[in-house]
């Protein structure tokens, strides 16, 4: 039986704008560069199959026009190389599934759990799209939903094994969290199902995952891999590298996983311990640059040392290869303020609620009402 060469990618988050509450940085040009490399590799390596494990877009509602255009260009190009399979993630644009009819024939969009067979490739895909717990809340009290959904998935995966064709590869394609990695920023046990490594049955050829950013391979009970996103997103994990993986499946052998990393930018976090002049800070940054082209810099400064003037000057700092995107006062009693804040973005609330309402089948009036209250509360907070 023929070996299979897969390009496995995930979490493009096209339309991402970083550090909104500090210095807003649109990441689209960076993402475009990464995707140029990705399509070039797909073409040069003549891959047989491209798997996208979810979150191709960053926004559920209206992603920017330019992000849509980039997505359209890239997926059409990839689909010219090989069948393109796109599993819907929690961030993905709601319109994608409905648009499926206009997509070229060899683009498959998946939001259900129906296995898909590609006979010409000798491969079957077993999909687990993002499963928000809210979808099951109506029938089950909050406490038990996590356990129930997890159990259901375990049984489904066992049942899938009965469909296995001994002459096929069997790939699990999932947008989900493996509990052992739940320290990643994207994981959220109150919103989505967590699976433990031991929940996955033996017998799959490969597990193509998405949702958690950062390249990770789990070796038991079969090879499960997160290929990482395109660009390093935030200072929670400043060493995260964007990338994707090339996977070679050969019958009777372990999959060979080759990560390919992007070098579009680097994050640099510097703690200033004394009130240096702006020129000195600039020199300090330039000495430590980690990327040849784009370095996003966070400056952390003891709160008692930080004057408004200095703060303003530091915030404006940028060079040919770097931009200061966050200037943060650190107080002893709350050492990691920015990082903690980052775990919940208040501005995202209305959007989150709108998605929740859609999943729950609530009317748009409820969403609007929520927005009214949200804006009021937000303003009161500001005043």
- The first and second tokens of residue 82, run together, are 């090989």
Is 61 among the residues that bind a copy of itself (CB under 8 A)?
yes
Options 91, 170, 211, 213, the catalytic residue? 91
Answer whether 110's CB lies under 8 Å from 100's CB: no
The whole-angstrom separation of Cα 233 and Cα 266 is 10
Does residue number 383 form part of the binding site for a copy of itself (CB under 8 A)?
no
Shorter beta-carbon distance to a copy of itself: residue 61 or 331: 61
Kindly tell me which residue out of 1, 3, 80, 100 binds a copy of itself, with binding defined by CB under 8 A. 100
Residue with Cβ nearer a copy of itself (4 or 107): 107
Treating both helix axes as pointing N-terminal to C-terminal, what angle do 364-382 and 349-360 enclose, rounded to 10 degrees? 160
Q: How far is the CB of 369 from a copy of itself (least distance, A)?
A: 10
Part in contact with a copy of itself (CB under 8 A); list of ranges 6-14, 89-97, 226-234, 315-323: 89-97
Is residue 147 a contact residue for a copy of itself (CB under 8 A)? no
Options 379, 380, 381, 383; binder of a copy of itself; rule CB under 8 A: 379
- Distance of alpha carbon 23 from alpha carbon 16, whole angstroms: 14
- Region from 70-78, 146-154, 255-263, 324-332 binding a copy of itself, contact rule CB under 8 A: 70-78
Cα distance between residue 89 and residue 287, in whole Å: 39
Please state the separation of Cα 9 from the chain's center in Å.
Answer: 10
Query: Quick one: residue 218, left, alpha or beta (phi over 0 = left, psi -120 to 50 = alpha)?
Result: beta
Query: With the C-alpha atoms ordered 45, 50, 52, 57, is the resulting torsion angle positive or negative?
Result: positive
Is 91 tagged catalytic?
Answer: yes
Under rule CB under 8 A, residue 352 binds a copy of itself: no
Distances (CA, A) of 270 to 198, 218, 332, 372, 377: 40, 32, 17, 40, 35
Q: Find the shortest distance in angstroms from Cβ 183 to a copy of itself.
A: 32
- Choices 101-109, 175-183, 193-201, 250-258 (CB under 8 A): range interacting with a copy of itself: 101-109
Is there a contact between 45 and 5 (Cβ–Cβ < 8 Å)?
yes
| 73 is a site residue for a copy of itself (CB under 8 A) | yes
- The yes or no reply on residue 163 touching a copy of itself (CB under 8 A) is no
- State the minimum distance, in angstroms, from the CB of residue 98 to a copy of itself: 4
376 lines the binding site for a copy of itself (CB under 8 A): yes
**For residues 171 and 153, is the Cβ–Cβ distance under 8 A?**
no
Q: Could you identify the residue written with the tokens 């920023």?
A: 185
Q: What single-letter DSSP state applies at residue 192?
A: B
Enzyme catalytic residues: 91
Residues within the interface to a copy of itself (CB under 8 A): 61-62, 65-66, 68-69, 72-73, 75-76, 94-95, 97-104, 107, 371-372, 375-376, 378-379
């Amino acid at each position: 039986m023929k070996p299979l060469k897969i390009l496995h990618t995930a979490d493009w988050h096209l339309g991402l704008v970083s550090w909104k509450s500090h210095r807003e940085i649109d990441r689209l040009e960076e993402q475009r560069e990464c995707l140029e490399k990705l399509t070039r590799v797909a073409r040069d390596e003549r891959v047989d199959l491209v798997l996208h494990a979810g979150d191709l877009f960053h926004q559920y509602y209206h992603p920017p026009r330019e992000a849509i255009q980039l997505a359209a260009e890239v997926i059409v190009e990839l689909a010219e190389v090989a069948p393109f399979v796109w599993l819907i993630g929690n961030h993905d644009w709601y319109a994608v599934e409905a648009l499926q009819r206009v997509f070229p024939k060899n683009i498959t969009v998946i939001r259900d759990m129906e296995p898909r067979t590609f006979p010409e490739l000798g491969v079957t895909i077993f999909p687990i799209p993002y499963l928000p717990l809210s979808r099951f809340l109506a029938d089950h009290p909050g406490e038990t939903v996590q356990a129930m959904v997890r159990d259901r998935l375990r049984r489904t995966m066992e049942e899938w094994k009965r469909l296995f064709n001994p002459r096929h590869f069997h790939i699990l394609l999932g947008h989900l969290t493996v509990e052992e990695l739940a320290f990643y920023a994207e994981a959220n046990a109150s919103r989505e199902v967590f699976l433990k490594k031991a929940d996955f049955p033996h017998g799959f050829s490969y597990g193509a995952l998405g949702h958690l950013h950062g390249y990770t391979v789990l070796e038991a009970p079969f090879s499960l891999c997160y290929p990482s996103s395109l660009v390093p997103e935030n200072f929670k994990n400043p060493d995260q590298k964007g990338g994707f993986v090339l996977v070679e499946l050969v019958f009777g052998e372990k999959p060979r996983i080759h990560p390919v990393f992007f070098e579009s930018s680097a994050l640099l976090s510097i703690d200033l311990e004394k009130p240096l002049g702006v020129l000195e800070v600039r020199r300090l940054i330039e000495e430590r640059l980690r990327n040849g082209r784009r370095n996003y810099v966070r400056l952390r400064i003891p709160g008692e040392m930080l004057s408004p003037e200095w703060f303003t000057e530091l915030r404006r700092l940028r060079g040919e290869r770097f931009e200061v995107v966050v200037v943060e006062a650190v107080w002893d009693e709350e050492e990691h303020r920015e990082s903690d804040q980052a775990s919940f973005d208040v501005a995202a609330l209305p959007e989150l609620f709108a998605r929740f309402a859609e999943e729950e089948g609530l009317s748009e009036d409820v969403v609007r009402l929520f927005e009214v209250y949200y804006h009021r509360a937000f303003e009161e907070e500001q005043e």
